[in-house]
Chains A and B, each alone.
Chain A
C-alpha cells in the first residue's frame, strides 16, 4: 500500500510540472498525505542519518540553507526542503522526491512552519530541533505569539531526552522553552558593536515570563532579541556555547563573522547582509555542531552559502541592480530597512504588499514597521501589490511627498516604473511580502532574468 500511495503522489507532481502549474513543490506530498496521513513518519524513518527541524518566525529558509552548505562541506549526504515548502505536505514531497535507497546515510534538513512544527516533529522524530526566534507575525493565521509558544512548550515537554534542542539565548520567549527539556545547546550574539540604541516599537516578549516584570536589556540586537535579564528574579540570558564574537557589516551585501564554537574558532565572510543573518549563521553553526560537524567544515559551508531566493537575492537588469528583501512581518521588515540603509546615497524602493493566505490577510502590520528612517533617504518609492493603496497610505501618513510616490498595482508595471526612476549603475531595493515576491519572480522569470524557483532552490 505504501509503495502504491507514493507512486500516485509522485505522478501528481510530475503532472503538475508538465502542466506548468509551478514546481509542484508540495502537491505530491499533499496527495500522499490524503492517502497515508502518517506518510512523513515512514519517509523520515528511512533517512539513515536521521533528521533535524528548523523553525522560527524569521530565518527558517536561510538557516536551513546554511545548514545544508555546512553538511555539503563536511561531505554529509542530505535531503532538504529548501524550496520553502515547509508545511507537512512540503516535507512529505521533499522526502518522497529523494527516493532514498536502503542503507543510506542521508540527514533530513527540514524547515518547518511554526504552526506545523508540533505535528511534523511527532512524525519525523528529529534528532535536533532548532528554534531561532518568535516575533509578532500574521495574527490572523498564527494567533498571538503566546499561543504559539504554548504549543511549542507542550511539544517539547514530550520529547525524548536524546533529542538536542538548539535555542537562541537572546530571545527570552524561545529561551523559556528550556524549562521543559534538559538537552539544550545555546547560541547568541556576544559582539555588541551592532546593538540598537532603543527597542523597536514592534518588539514583543519584553516581560519576564515567570513574574511579568519588564525585562532589563544590557544590549538590544533586533526586535526583542538581546542581552536580557529579569530585575526581580534569577532569570537571565543563559551563557552560550556557540557565540557570534565578531560581526562587521559589508554594505548591503555581506557580513564578516567571527564565531566561537566548542570545537574551535571560525572566521568567514557570509554572503548575506544584516544582523539577522548573524543569528541565522549562529543557529546553523550550533545545529551543525550538535550533529558532529567540525568547525572547519562549518566555516567552509558558511562561506560558500548563497542567498535563499528573495532573501537579499541580487539580479542585474539593464545595467541596474535589483535586490530582493522578502519581509512578511514588522521585525523582518525593520531588519530589511536597517540593511537597506547601509547603502550609500539616495534610495530607490519598490514596496509590494499582498494579503493572500501566505502573506496574512490582515495588513495592519505595515503600521508597526519603522519605515521612517528609510523615507528620510528615499529618492522614490513605488508601491505595488493587491494592497498597494494601504502602503501608499502608510507612507502618506509618515509625511512622504506625493511626488516621491508612485502607485502601480500590477507587478510588471510596477517593476518597469520603479526601474525607470533608478539612474544607471544604481540599485533598486524590492521589499515584497511572500506572494508578492512570487509574483515579482514570475515577471523576472518570464523576462529571462532568473530561473523558476523550483530549479534554483536545490
Chain B
C-alpha cells in the first residue's frame, strides 16, 4: 500500500523556527513545496516547531530551517540543541530529507563562532563548523551542484558573515561558479550528508531551482512511502527563464 491514511499522497513537513528564522523570504521555499505537490495532486502537511517545542523524529518526511538575524539566531541555537538536536539526528538516520538555508546551515553544523565572539552550539547533522568573518560575503551566487549522481546549476543570492569549513564527514553541495560560497577560499558551497542539505543560497532558493525542489520532494516521498508515487514532470518554463536571467546577471556563461 503506497498511500496509508489519506486520499492523496502527502508529504509531512516540519518548519523549524518559522517566526525567528525567516529573514531571507524563507516562506517562498515552503510555497514551492506546497505548489509543486498540489500540481501533482499530492498534499503538504505543515507542522511549525518553535522555541521550546519538542519534535517527533518519525512524524516528518521533510524538515526546513531558514536564516535569522544574529539576535534571533542566538536564541534559536540554544533552544535547538536542547529541544530538537536528538530528533533531527534520528530523522537523518531514518532517511528524512532536511534543508537548512543561510543561518540554518550554520546551526546544522557543530558550532558557530558568531560576530560578537559568542559561541553558538549546532545540532551536528552536518560535519562542518563556521566562524564569523570581519566582512559579509554578499552577492549573486551560482554553483554546479551534484545530487544522486546528477549535476545541475543552482542559482541564488548569498549574504553571510560566517565562513563555513567542512569536515571529512560531509561533502559540498556544489562548486562555486560565481560568488563566494562557504568561505570564499575553497570553492565549495553548502554541504550534503545523507538526505540533509545545507546551503547559503537564498533568493529564495527553490523557486528558481525546481530540480533541487523536486529532489527534496522525491526524497521526502521515498521516506514516507515504501512504494513512493512518482513526481510527474511539470512545465518549468517560468522557473527556467528566471534561472537563466539570474545566471546572466551573475555574468556567467553556462
Contacts and interface: CB of A to CB of B under 8 A. Distances in A.
B90 interface: no
A139 interface: yes
Contacts of B242: 389-390, 392-393
A363 B139 CA distance: 11
Contact of A362 (B32, B203, B238, B241): B203
Contacts of B140: 361
B252 interface: no
Interface residues of A, number: 31
B35 A393 contact: no
Q: Which of A136, A143, A144, A362 has the most CB of B within 10 A?
A: A362
A263 interface: no
A373 to B, nearest CB: 15
A146 B159 CA distance: 15
Nearest to B75: A212
Interface in B40-84: 69-72, 75
A388 B87 CA distance: 41
B165 interface: no
Interface string B1-42: 000000000000000000000111101100110010000000
Contact of B32 (A136, A204, A397): A397
B23 A362 contact: no
B71 A146 contact: yes
B180 to A, nearest CB: 13
Interface in B119-160: 136, 138-140, 157, 159
B249 A364 contact: no
A143 B137 CA distance: 11
Contacts of B239: 393
B25 A367 contact: yes
Contacts of B190: none
A362 B159 contact: yes
State which size class the interface on B falls in.
20 to 34
Contact of B157 (A140, A143, A394): A140
A59 B207 CA distance: 31
A399 B35 contact: yes
Interface in A199-244: 201, 204, 207, 212
A251 to B, nearest CB: 31
Contacts of B69: 144-146, 204
Contact of A367 (B31, B35, B159): B31
A195 interface: no
A144 B25 contact: no
A365 interface: yes
A389 B75 contact: no
Contacts of A399: 35
A70 to B, nearest CB: 36
Contacts of A362: 24, 157, 159, 202-203
A366 interface: yes
Interface in B152-211: 157, 159, 202-204, 207-208
A78 to B, nearest CB: 38
Contacts of B157: 140, 361-364
Interface string A143-157: 111100000000000
A23 B72 CA distance: 43
A408 to B, nearest CB: 13
A396 interface: yes
A368 interface: yes
A387 interface: yes
A398 interface: yes
A390 B244 CA distance: 11
B28 A139 contact: no
A355 interface: yes
Contacts of A363: 157, 203
A360 B27 CA distance: 20
Nearest to A391: B242
A201 B207 contact: no
Contact of B24 (A145, A204, A364): A364
A393 B245 contact: no
A397 B35 CA distance: 6
Interface string A342-366: 0000000000000100000111111
A142 to B, nearest CB: 11
A146 B138 CA distance: 18
Nearest to B242: A389
A363 to B, nearest CB: 7
A296 B231 CA distance: 68
Interface of B: 22-25, 27-28, 31-32, 35, 69-72, 75, 136, 138-140, 157, 159, 202-204, 207-208, 238-239, 241-242, 245, 249
9 interchain residue pairs of minimum CB distance: A367-B28, A367-B25, A389-B242, A364-B25, A393-B207, A362-B157, A144-B69, A397-B31, A397-B35
Given A355-B249, A363-B157, A364-B204, 11 more contacts: A140-B139, A144-B70, A212-B71, A362-B157, A364-B157, A368-B27, A389-B245, A392-B238, A397-B28, A397-B31, A397-B32
Interface of A: 136, 139-140, 143-146, 201, 204, 207, 212, 355, 361-368, 386-387, 389-390, 392-394, 396-399
27 contacts: A136-B23, A139-B24, A139-B159, A140-B138, A143-B136, A144-B69, A145-B69, A146-B70, A146-B71, A204-B69, A207-B71, A207-B72, A212-B71, A362-B159, A364-B24, A364-B204, A367-B31, A367-B207, A368-B25, A389-B241, A389-B245, A390-B208, A393-B238, A394-B207, A396-B238, A397-B31, A397-B35
